[in-house]
Structure 1
Amino acid sequence: MKNDKMKTQYRVNEQIRAREVRVVGEDGAQVMPTRQALEMARQMEVDLVEISPNAQPPVCRLIDYSKFLYQQKKHQKEMKQKQVKVEVKEIRFGPQTDEHDYQFKLKHAKEFLEEGNKVRAYVFFRGRSILFKEQGEVLLLRFANDLEEFGKVEQLPKLEGKKMFLYLAPKKAGVAKKSQQKLDREKREAEKAATEKLSAVATDSEELDIPASGGLFANAKNGSEALEKLKK
């Protein structure tokens, strides 16, 4: 069915209606009457194929029509293969995400990024847990930090309603690595920022008399080395 459609896409030989055409070949292009171009095609035992009908005059090639269709089909197939379909995979964290669940979701996120997909990770806050959005931010920063080898941050943690989102895109091959000096400096800056956030979180927990062990808070503590440098 596709081949039939392609065959009707081009005018060939006597189907060409223009009085003159521009014949393109290895030696360049030449404008000539269509009758002359048809005679050349007969002498060479090939076809006169109109490849650009809207040009003035229309552009044609002297080529075997079957071979021409094969080349066109091959070109379309190659273009289709180059068009990579990128999907957005979603990773959800709850207010009480434990370490085992975190590692499980981290593993899936690595697989998604290696396959060339984007990742949208988010923490969903319920009820009073929205008071500890800083914990969710640190968790997502840790998540991005653990995935820095596989993906780059498109959007740092951002609260939207009761959800805080982080967007990651797969890293392209051949991305230049940062110098060790710059990495060390950014790590120190990130550690300082994370420590300040954790101090604020701990203070809030004490004021509200909420246990600071397990669940999201544990992940927040583990995220002290989360790097804001990840957004490049």
Structure 2
Amino acid sequence: MFDPTQLPVMSLAGEAAVAPARLSPTALRQRFAQTLAWDPEISTETDDRLAAPFRRAAVLIPLVERPEGVTVLLTRRTDHLTSHAGQVSFPGGRSEDYDSSPIETALRETEEEIGLSRHRIEIIGVLPDYATISAYRVTPVVALVAPPFTLQVDPGEVAEAFEVPLAWLMDGQHHQRREVNLPQGGSRAFYTMPYEQYFVWGATAAMLRNLFHFLRA
């Protein structure tokens, strides 16, 4: 495993920020109700060396309706986990046989991980599945969250939950591109979005990039 924070920034994505008028709750609902052409970015995390079949998973992209502007609710995983320890992620996880849909997976996992009741959550759409190097095919479920709400994080999985302004994340000037050389040869490029003391990268940053492209369409 490598430390992405120690790798140099190769470039910035650099696209103009999504217009503020497109980031209001009303505009977000309207955008997901539309069918517009747009191009998601292809995952560079997976390749033909993955022998195992993909397992299903889903995450929730919670967009919190704050008076000062919509924010994105994220979590930081605990440091003792065997995979992705300490990383910033969306609430979510592996689908179970009893889940009726990816949306149900995302809602169930969110309630289990951070105690956010589904009664405060309004599903507005889904983004394209994202395939990870750990052989998961993840469905990002986008939702608006209406305050007030109280979170109760599961200390076995989540160290903390925090919010980042959606407008900050939807600005290509904040999307860094870094690259790591792989032991087996070749390299892997990925996006990072450092915000204050938090370091957003990997699959979480990639799914935010797809939300960015979707809202710009």
TM-score interval (norm. to shorter): under 0.3
Q: Which has the higher contact order (CA 8 A, sep 6+)?
A: 2
TM-score, length basis structure 2 = 0.22
Query: Normalising to structure 1: TM-score of the pair?
Result: 0.21
User: Comparing both structures, which one devotes a greater share of its residues to helix?
Assistant: 1
Q: Which has the larger share of strand? A: 2
Tell me which structure has the larger Cα radius of gyration.
1
